[in-house]
Structure 1
Amino acid sequence: MLPKVLVLLLGIFVIIQSRVEGPQPASKKEASAHNDVFYGPEPQPLGRKLLSEETKPTATGTGRPVGKLPEASRILNTILSNYDHKLRPGIGEKPTVVTVEISVNSLGPLSIMDMEYTIDIIFCQTWYDERLRYNDTFETLVLNGNVVSQLWIPDTFFRNSKKTQEHEITMPNQMVRIHKDGKVLYTIRMTIDAGCSLHMLKFPMDSHSCPLSFSSFSYPESEMIYKWENFKLEINEKNSWKLFQFDFTGVSNKTEIVSTPAGDFMVMTLFFNVSRRFGYVAFQNYVPSSVTTMLSWVSFWIKKECASARTSLGITSVLTMTTLGTFSRKNFPRVSYITALDFYIAICFVFCFCALLEFAVLNFLTYNQTKARASPKLRHPPLGSRAHARIRARARARASQQQEGFVCEVVTSEGSDGEERLSCSAQRSPSPGSPQGPRSLFSKLTCCEWCKKYFCMVPDCKGSTWQQGRLCIHIYRLDDYSQVVFPVAFFLFNVLYWLVCLNL
């Protein structure tokens, strides 16, 4: 009986000792069995090591915990326990003052056709909420976007936005920072497609101010006031802005009160000033139209006998200017007024059309003059010199008895080329009762009163004293005149055009 009791006590003693000392190390035999798998120092159990590090005591000599997480949770639970996020701070007592600060990440592109622009900003709003005050060692509590729904946030909206996108990758890009004195900072990142009314009257030398306007949606001026803190606006110009055809020239702001049926609201407006880059439009519109206008002047150096060449060149120039005017409006908003570019292309079209019209006038006068001279030869047989002398004497006698007038006759020049020309001389026009023989319209042409007072379109305008001081225009020298008049007129137009457009 005694041996059995001793064996039982020994077993109990072994069990108690094994529980107190913990698991015993593996035997040398088991360790040697693993020598062919592991090299170097014996590996330690990873899970057991991490567990021991996590549960390592952090108590100080007084026994109080050093970690701040429980304390921050206690503060947050305390200030939110009796907090109503549906009511604004200071309701019924004073208006809530919201300070705004904007950081611009990127600006552009600016769409001319849709009259809108895209802007990526970080929008910061700061206000004081006395309900969120606390007294502790924490200066601020930084919270992510998941806590935003538990706090009162200003209902700010952008009045001229067409589309707004809030970024949510990888988490909602929102942040709330609560200070111990009740100051709240709310930051959110968003991309806005905002409308921008473009005044294209001076296009392409135009400058624009694209607004970004925001206000409260439900709180009037008596309940919420916006203000800039020394107008802080951070512009990150190092980023690649997508303005393309524009240059950023600066920023300005404006504060106004807008009256609506719901009340008077404070509206804050930020203006981004941009100016158009001139190079693209110059190479796409001004250079082709100017070159086409100058090419139409080549017809002045082509002989008038080459009617087909001059006509084809003139028509091609006119059609080219028409095409340029159409394509300049293709990627352009359909405004109801004429822009500076439209005016320039229209003047170039007029120059090309006048170059074609000049040849038409020259060819018309030359053709009818030749026809008028050829018709008397068929009606009157050739006479001797004595017969010509008698006819001229009779004509001079009749002219001395008739009223003086201004007529143009077809004569043959004495030059080597034998060119047919018109000659103006002072003669007596027949009385109403005197008989008149059949005359060709272009062999003897009576000019109108204002025409004979100021100029004479004939090769030689020498005559009586009443013709002195008139402007004599040689119809056969229209090409010579055009070679000087057209380039000079176009040069003066360009000087005046650019002075007006660049100085306005």
Structure 2
Amino acid sequence: MLWQEGLIFLFLLILHILHVTPLVESAEVPLKEIPLREQLMEYLFRDYQNYEIPGAFNQTTTIVTVYMTITEITSVDVRMMDYTTYLLLRQEWQDPRLAWNNIPRFRNYTKNLVSPKLKEKLWLPDLFFRNGKEGRIHRMTLPNYLTRISPDGNILYSQKITMRFSCQMDLKTFPMDAQTCHINIGSYGYSLKELRFVWRSIQPIELSDGMQIAEFNSPESVVAQDCNAFPTDENSSCLNATFVLSRQLGSWFSSVYITNFLIVIASWHSFWVDIEAQPARVALGLLTLLGMITQASGISQNLPRVSYIKAIDVWNIACITFNVSVLIEFAVASNMRSTRSRRPERWRLNAREALRAEVEGWCIGCRKAFIQRQQSAGGSNGNVSSSDLETALIQAIYPDLGSRSNLFPNDVLQPKGYLSKKNSAFDMPDTKDEETEDGQDEDVDDVKEVATTSEDCKMTDSEKKEKKTRRRLFMSFCLTSIYQLETSWRTNDTKSKRRLNLSLHDFPLPNVEDVDRFDGRVECY
């Protein structure tokens, strides 16, 4: 019986061993995947040379598909003619040396190989940005790049980079301009037969939604082109992306155009300031001019020095011209006013000639009497000069003047002096002062000597005195009108301004018959 129990124990032990062994082997299957991946990596890179282009394996051109996502465009610098952008750049190409889907040993391994160490082992395209100025790869929190190998040998290389691109801007219509900028991609060392970049067929360039650009509108679309699609002299692959940045006019309209317009309007207030207020007019003109120049200088500092005139330059030149014209107008007006004030004698001479012509025509009958008196004195041959006639007429009207130079005294700009100065040409006749104690008129003999017509000789003394008073009144009106005209001219009163060569017919003179209305009481001013 003992040996039977031994056989049963042995049988059960064999069954136990046969039952446990499959369980151990099934538990070790997932653990064998890790060594299989390592074996795959070791197999793929055993004879791989990362300095050889994939096309050299089968003597074909390596095609690299490029596509990108522009996440943000910032810092559009007009002065430096460049812009900064953040983008995700992706490149895909086929490397048959790294395909394992046709290897029976690793055919069942369908996962992609992803590892940061792959970048150091792989051949990478020598892509560079032709119009790039500087750039960097983001490294927070780790270097922002991805390398992935698919079972069919397709390789994806993705990077997040920040690049500053140059953009040749046309500023002729600045600030109402729209700039066309580019992103130009090419191969640095390989020829077109060895390496060629192509855009992805579906949406090669994507723009992030809600992208805001300072001072510019977001580009509506990006045009992707293959430079090698057109006949060129390029011996290397080239890709080009084009987009348009249109400037927003709102900020410039409020900070430049409205400001300059208000400054020009402020400078025009100088036209309403009295010309005698020279400090106020000069200060107003200079301050507005300095404000315009300062603003124009600030704008030009933020713009490049170009060989053509920009639209903003035309605006600034026009505004400065308006401001300078205000100062020129003030200088011309001041010069004209000072020139006229320095020529009072010329004004007196012109006014005297006008008065002489008018009085000579009005009292033409006095010429005959004057000639007769001169002939009776034996000092004239019948020719009478205008100056002598004027002296005779003035003495006939105002015997106490003494000389004709008193007709236009030096204080011509002081009308009150005319009215207060005794024996002045502007003094009104006072008939009471001309009567003697005996009630006789001292000027009767003078009136007889200068009688203008034969009818005047038949007048009584009272009639002659009345007529003489009338003539004096009329002469006072003449002189008063001349003074009023001169005052209007000197004060630059354009409504009543007259030329110097006008005769007294243009003056507001009364008729001789109208003098009777004043009854001998007339004020000259």
Q: Counterparts of 2:35 and 2:287 in 1: how far apart (Å)?
A: 86
Partner amino acid, structure 2, of 1:152: W
- Answer yes or no: is the 8 Å Cα contact 1:211–1:272 preserved in 2: yes
Structure 1 segments of 4 or more deviating over 6 A? 258-261, 378-387, 391-395, 411-417
Partner amino acid, structure 2, of 1:87: E
- Return the structure number with greater helix share: 2
1:233 corresponds to 2:224: no
Partner amino acid, structure 2, of 1:252: V
Partner amino acid, structure 1, of 2:218: F
User: Which aligned pairs between 1:150-299 and structure 2 lie closer than 5 A?
Assistant: 150-230=121-201, 231-238=203-210, 243-250=213-220, 251-257=222-228, 264-299=235-270
Question: What is the deviation of 1:246?
Answer: 1.9
- Answer yes or no: is the 8 Å Cα contact 1:144–1:174 preserved in 2: no
For 1:497, the equivalent position in structure 2 comes to: none
For 2:29, the equivalent position in structure 1 comes to: 65
- Structure 2 unaligned runs (5+)? 1-20, 102-106, 365-384, 387-479, 490-495, 507-525
For 1:107, the equivalent position in structure 2 comes to: 73
Q: Counterparts of 1:278 and 1:115 in 2: how far apart (Å)?
A: 19
- Answer yes or no: is the 8 Å Cα contact 2:199–2:226 preserved in 1: no
- Answer yes or no: is the 8 Å Cα contact 2:199–2:224 preserved in 1: no
Q: Counterparts of 2:44 and 2:75 in 1: how far apart (Å)?
A: 44
1:355 corresponds to 2:350: no
Question: What is the deviation of 1:418?
Answer: 4.7
For 2:488, the equivalent position in structure 1 comes to: 419
Deviation track 1:61-109 (CA, whole Å, cap 9, x = no partner) reads 7565124322222222222222222211122622111111102232212
Q: Counterparts of 1:219 and 1:271 in 2: how far apart (Å)?
A: 24
- Answer yes or no: is the 8 Å Cα contact 1:140–1:177 preserved in 2: no
For 2:457, the equivalent position in structure 1 comes to: none
Question: When the two structures are aligned, how many residues end up with a matched partner?
Answer: 354
Q: 2:348 aligns with which of 367, 373, 377?
A: 377
Deviation track 1:430-474 (CA, whole Å, cap 9, x = no partner) reads xxxxxxxxxxxxx569xxxxxxxxxxxxxx9xxxxxxxxxxxxxx
- Answer yes or no: is the 8 Å Cα contact 2:485–2:498 preserved in 1: no
Distance verdict in 2 for CA 1:260–1:252, change over 3 Å: closer
Question: What is the deviation of 1:178?
Answer: 1.4
Partner amino acid, structure 1, of 2:62: T
* TM-score (structure 2 length as normaliser): 0.60
For 1:51, the equivalent position in structure 2 comes to: none
Q: 1:331 aligns with which of 302, 306, 315?
A: 302
- Answer yes or no: is the 8 Å Cα contact 2:77–2:83 preserved in 1: yes
For 1:318, the equivalent position in structure 2 comes to: 289
1:132 corresponds to 2:98: yes
Q: Counterparts of 1:369 and 1:172 in 2: how far apart (Å)?
A: 85
Q: Aligned to 2:218, what secondary structure does the other structure show? A: strand
Question: What is the deviation of 1:260?
Answer: 10
Q: Counterparts of 1:197 and 1:320 in 2: how far apart (Å)?
A: 32
Deviation track 1:12-32 (CA, whole Å, cap 9, x = no partner) reads xxxxxxxxxxxxxxxxxxxxx
Deviation track 1:367-394 (CA, whole Å, cap 9, x = no partner) reads 4345445435379989987884259999
Distance verdict in 2 for CA 1:158–1:75, change over 3 Å: same
Q: Counterparts of 1:74 and 1:155 in 2: how far apart (Å)?
A: 29
Deviation track 1:331-379 (CA, whole Å, cap 9, x = no partner) reads 2222232211111011011111122222333333344345445435379
1:83 corresponds to 2:48: yes
Larger Rg computed on CA atoms: 2
- Answer yes or no: is the 8 Å Cα contact 1:113–1:331 preserved in 2: yes
Q: Counterparts of 2:108 and 2:501 in 1: how far apart (Å)?
A: 114
- Answer yes or no: is the 8 Å Cα contact 2:172–2:308 preserved in 1: yes
Question: What is the deviation of 1:232?
Answer: 2.1
- Answer yes or no: is the 8 Å Cα contact 1:127–1:184 preserved in 2: yes
* TM-score (structure 1 length as normaliser): 0.62
Partner amino acid, structure 1, of 2:256: N
Q: Counterparts of 1:386 and 1:218 in 2: how far apart (Å)?
A: 103
1:119 corresponds to 2:85: yes
Q: Counterparts of 2:51 and 2:209 in 1: how far apart (Å)?
A: 39
Question: What is the deviation of 1:295?
Answer: 0.8
Distance verdict in 2 for CA 1:265–1:444, change over 3 Å: farther
Q: Which moved more, 1:354-363 or 1:149-158?
A: 354-363
Partner amino acid, structure 1, of 2:39: R
Partner amino acid, structure 2, of 1:66: P
Q: Counterparts of 2:319 and 2:354 in 1: how far apart (Å)?
A: 54
- Answer yes or no: is the 8 Å Cα contact 2:351–2:482 preserved in 1: no
Q: Which moved more, 1:210-219 or 1:356-365?
A: 356-365
- Answer yes or no: is the 8 Å Cα contact 2:178–2:246 preserved in 1: yes
Q: Aligned to 2:118, what secondary structure does the other structure show? A: helix
- Answer yes or no: is the 8 Å Cα contact 1:412–1:418 preserved in 2: no
- Structure 1 unaligned runs (5+)? 1-56, 396-410, 425-442, 446-459, 461-504
- Work out the percentage of aligned pairs sharing the same amino acid: 25
Q: Counterparts of 1:171 and 1:90 in 2: how far apart (Å)?
A: 32
Q: Aligned to 1:389, what secondary structure does the other structure show? A: helix
Partner amino acid, structure 2, of 1:352: N
Q: Counterparts of 2:128 and 2:188 in 1: how far apart (Å)?
A: 6
- Return the structure number with greater strand share: 1
- Answer yes or no: is the 8 Å Cα contact 2:197–2:239 preserved in 1: yes
Q: Counterparts of 2:352 and 2:183 in 1: how far apart (Å)?
A: 90
Q: Counterparts of 2:354 and 2:269 in 1: how far apart (Å)?
A: 45
